[in-house]
Amino acid sequence: MTEKIMVVASRNRKKAVEMMELLKDLGWRVLSMDEAGADIEIEEDGLSFEENSYKKAFQVMKATGKTAIADDSGLEVYALGGKPGVFSARFSGEGATDESNNQKLLEMMKEVPEDERGARFVCAATVVFPDETYFTVTGECEGQILFEPRGTGGFGYDPLFFVPDLGKTFAQLDAETKNSISHRAKAFFRVKQLLSCAGGNKA
């Protein structure tokens, strides 16, 4: 039987590790871009999470000839009209870091009262096969934005994203818990369902 190989299309090391962890029980050999020899940079210029995830997965599939999976995810804050949205990773401009993005968000939210700080994380995950067929799924996780960061785990906006049902931010959760309730976990659960059905015979 031919080994099924999937390449994780992400240059964000922490995100790639999280994606590979979510795919570990898939039954495919999951590789990073470096392991697959995909030495490319991809401009995320889509207007939606779905567009960006498809573009990344398609280009990595083309570069490697292997099935590729990409996600594009971000934070949508209701009081900010859905910002930062698809611009989550570069919210604070050129050379943005997690810290600078969080600081900008806190500054924009400083006058927003506690009961109006609702937000959600959104993830669109796309799998593109070598024959250029593909599918995209989404996952969401509801929460609220704190007035100051809590926790040291995770990445991105995790220290500010509070999950009321758990009483913790994403940055305070252990990896196992986060990977069971997050937007990415929900999207990747659907990915695995689809791969075990219609897409399961592709490699």
**So which residues are the catalytic ones?**
72
Pairing of strands 5-8, 29-31: parallel
Written as one string, the DSSP assignment of the chain is -PPPEEEE----HHHHHHHHHHTTTSSSEEE-TTTTT---------SSHHHHHHHHHHHHHHHHSSEEEEEEEEEEEGGGTT-BGGGGGGTT-TT--HHHHHHHHHHHHTTS-GGG-EEEEEEEEEEE-TTS-EEEEEEEEEEEE-SS---SSSSTTTTTEEETTTTEEGGGS-HHHHHHHSHHHHHHHHHHHHHTTTTTT--
CA 9 to CA 25: how far, in whole Å?
18
Pairing of strands 161-163, 134-145: antiparallel
